């Protein structure tokens, strides 16, 4: 089922995700819904908090169009190490139409559980490392706008408020 993606400045985006105690059928259904929602958007990642589910869960697929799926599930993720720096033009499904150069670690090591509930560790670099950090931030209530300089932050905030106003007007 495709879920509604929350858009900035929705306050629920600032809510921290709660730890998932057990990977139940309900959690697996949520993972499936998140995958369907992410692919329909389309995006390369989606955190549970972006669809109003305050849980420590995100999904990512960084495969290029025409490539086999590289779908990954991260339940209760922890970033163990960050190394180097990388600047990447990031977008976010909660900030439609916004792309900004964001500086992040160039390489990360993460520990999480998969859809099967089994723990794993992963070292990632490039787009996968960026996506992991971006989605992990969502679970902490940290958004892309928080990584911008003051001017970009103000401009993006205004753009998103205008979009929210136009969206609200269209709904009435």
Nearest in space to 131 (alpha carbons), one of 80, 81, 94, 91? 91
CB-CB neighbours of 104 under 10 Å: 20
Nearest in space to 128 (alpha carbons), one of 76, 61, 31? 61
The secondary structure element, H or E, covering residue 30 is: helix 25-40
Sheet holding 57-60, edge to edge: 45-47, 57-60, 72-83, 107-113, 119-125
Note if 90 is an active site residue. no
d(CA 105, CA 82): 6
d(CA 42, CA 114): 22
Which residue among the candidates 53, 90, 100, 135 is catalytic per the annotation? 135
Question: What amino acid positions are annotated as catalytic residues?
Answer: 135
């Amino acid at each position: 089922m495709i879920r509604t993606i929350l858009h900035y400045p929705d306050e629920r985006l600032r809510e921290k995700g709660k730890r998932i105690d057990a990977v139940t059928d309900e959690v697996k259904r949520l993972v499936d819904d998140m995958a369907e929602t992410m692919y329909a958007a389309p995006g390369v990642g989606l955190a549970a908090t972006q669809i109003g589910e305050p849980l420590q869960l995100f999904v990512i697929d960084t495969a290029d169009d025409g490539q086999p799926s590289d779908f990954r599930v991260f339940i209760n993720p922890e970033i163990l190490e960050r190394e180097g720096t990388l600047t990447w033009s990031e977008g976010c499904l909660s900030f439609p139409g916004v792309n900004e150069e964001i500086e992040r670690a160039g390489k990360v090591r993460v520990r999480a559980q998969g859809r099967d509930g089994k723990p794993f560790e992963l070292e990632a670099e490039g787009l996968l490392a960026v996506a992991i950090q971006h989605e992990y931030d969502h679970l902490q209530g940290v958004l892309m706008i928080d990584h911008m300089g003051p001017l970009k932050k103000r401009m993006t905030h205004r753009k998103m408020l205008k979009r929210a106003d136009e969206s609200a007007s269209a709904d009435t």
